[in-house]
Amino acid sequence: MSEREDKVKKSYIFFLQKENDSEGFELSELLAATGWKASTVKTYFSKKWDSFLEKRENKYFVQGISQYSEVEYAKMFSQVNKNSQDPFKPVLDFEVERLVVKARESALLALDIYNRPVTLFRSEGFIVMMIIAWTALLHAIFQKKGIKYTWVKEDGSDEIIDGDLKAWEIIKCVKEFYGADNNAIRKNLEFIIGLRNKIEHRYVPAIDNHIGGECQSLLLNFDELLSCEFGNYFALKESMTFPLQTSNIREEGKMEVIKRFQGKYYEELKEYIETYRDALSEATYNDPKFSFRVYLIPKIGNHKSSSDLAFEFIKYDPNNKDDLDAYKRDIALIKERTKIVQVANQGKFKPKTIVSIVKDKIGKPFTTTKHTQAYKYYKVRPDHDNCKTQYCQYDEPHKDYVYTQEWVDFLVEKLQDEEEYQKVIAYK
């Protein structure tokens, strides 16, 4: 490590130690910690450090240095302009970067097509552009790993198409990348590839409402792999917003007209979709990596501050039983079924679910023990014959108690008040 690199590293460590320090620091402290001269440091204040350093009178205050890794911070001092001006950008081989940019731009175009409210060629355009995006991304990964991803003839020579090496198509890329792993991401890709092959020369906008979940997963899986392999710099996360449309589903009458216009193509595609899904295991079909299903429910806040978000995504791990229980609780009454099934204790919650909901809503520790203290403090169940049925009911067959949504709302409202919260958790 050169003397210059050593001083840069020392300055990074110094700034990390001073981040969010309300006392700030004086210039002499920085000079002592790094060994730099005052004249050297003076130029850095405006050219390198203005994004995280603020001067107030004779002191300096640090806020935001932790967003830089040590490597990214060091790139600020690079003699190469593209590194110093954009320190967050990963350093990639030229061909790898070309493919990554192509993949990202193709995905953004796909997203733009899908989110246009008046576009009828929605799923078709989205799928075609996303296949290009996935192909470029997998080529970039192969290029980075030194894997040859072009076709070779039986005699060992390269296959040439229009003067260029013939690169692997998407289905070959998927097989090589995932190998024997038939996970939900691969199943989603293979489903979309098969669909692409069928719709490439057809016009079938009526399928939009049948494959929205798979399209969303295709995009989210792409962004996750892109970020994992090449860093958050290239991620689409900041570009993905919830689309605002007057309706995501066309009226039944219009749909019937579209179906008749498209004739047998619609039925053929619908049969492909249903056949593919039926062949999946229940675990794969329900995995959000295969199909991301969103339920939108009007959100009513008890306080102005509690309804700032117009919608929330509930992320869960299908392999975690507690997460799965909470997920099922949130969509208990919403099913993709034509038949309504009656459920005992419908809309009622067990203590563990209550604890999970309330803890998330109030942003404070809340355990099953604290839940017990709460129902005792508010006297909602002195015994099973005298429960306040608005909040709690005794389940005779299972010999336990279930709780209502009103109880959840009551606890959230009460326990958001710190004084009330302390009274409840102190109750014996």
Which tops the pLDDT comparison, 183 or 332? 183
For residue 416, pLDDT over 80 is answered with yes
In a domain, 278, yes or no: yes
Which of 260, 286, 312 is the last residue before a domain boundary?
286
141 plus 43 within the same structural domain: no
- Whether 150 and 167 have beta carbons less than 8 Å apart is answered as yes
168 plus 256 within the same structural domain: yes
Picking from 8-12, 76-80, 88-92, 260-264, which range would have the lowest pLDDT averaged per residue?
260-264
156 plus 206 within the same structural domain: yes
Return the pLDDT at 25.
92
- Whether 196 and 128 have beta carbons less than 8 Å apart is answered as yes
Return the pLDDT at 32.
93
What percentage of the chain exceeds 70 in pLDDT?
A: 76
For residue 327, pLDDT over 90 is answered with no
Return the pLDDT at 133.
97
For residue 14, pLDDT over 90 is answered with yes
170 plus 255 within the same structural domain: yes
In a domain, 355, yes or no: yes
Return the pLDDT at 246.
38
For residue 160, pLDDT over 60 is answered with yes
Model confidence band, residue 74 (pLDDT cutoffs 50, 70, 90): confident
Which tops the pLDDT comparison, 324 or 310? 324
Model confidence band, residue 238 (pLDDT cutoffs 50, 70, 90): low
In a domain, 329, yes or no: no
122 plus 258 within the same structural domain: yes
75 plus 123 within the same structural domain: no
Number of structural domains the chain divides into: 3
Written as six digits, the tokens of 348 are 């009622």
In a domain, 322, yes or no: no
Which of 245, 262, 286 is the last residue before a domain boundary?
286
Q: Which of 340, 367, 361 is nearest to 405 (CA)?
A: 361
Which tops the pLDDT comparison, 342 or 405? 405
- Whether 341 and 388 have beta carbons less than 8 Å apart is answered as no
Which of 33, 57, 85 is the last residue before a domain boundary?
85
For residue 222, pLDDT over 60 is answered with yes
- Provide the domain limits for residue 23: 3-85
Which tops the pLDDT comparison, 209 or 49? 49
> Largest alpha-carbon pair distance within the chain?
86
Question: Structure pTM?
Answer: 0.59
Which tops the pLDDT comparison, 339 or 105? 105
Return the pLDDT at 319.
62
Mean pLDDT score across all residues of the chain: 80
Return the pLDDT at 117.
73
Give the amino acid at 177: F
For residue 18, pLDDT over 60 is answered with yes
The secondary structure of 283-341 as a DSSP string is HHHH-TTT-----------SSGGGG--S-------TT-HHHHHHHHHHTTT--S-SS--
Return the pLDDT at 231.
84
Return the pLDDT at 312.
52
Please enumerate in sequence order all residues whose Cβ is within 8 A of that of 57, keeping only pairs 6 or more positions apart, or say none: none
b/e map 24-37, b = 16+ CB within 10 Å: bbeeeebeebbebe
Q: Residues 152-181: what's their mean pLDDT?
A: 92
The secondary structure of 199-230 as a DSSP string is HTT---GGGGGGSHHHHHHHHHHHHHHHHHHH
In a domain, 291, yes or no: no
For residue 184, pLDDT over 90 is answered with yes
Return the pLDDT at 16.
93
Return the pLDDT at 365.
87
Q: What is the CATH number of the domain that holds 7?
A: 1.10.10
Return the pLDDT at 266.
65
For residue 401, pLDDT over 90 is answered with no
131 plus 267 within the same structural domain: yes
For residue 178, pLDDT over 60 is answered with yes
For residue 258, pLDDT over 60 is answered with no
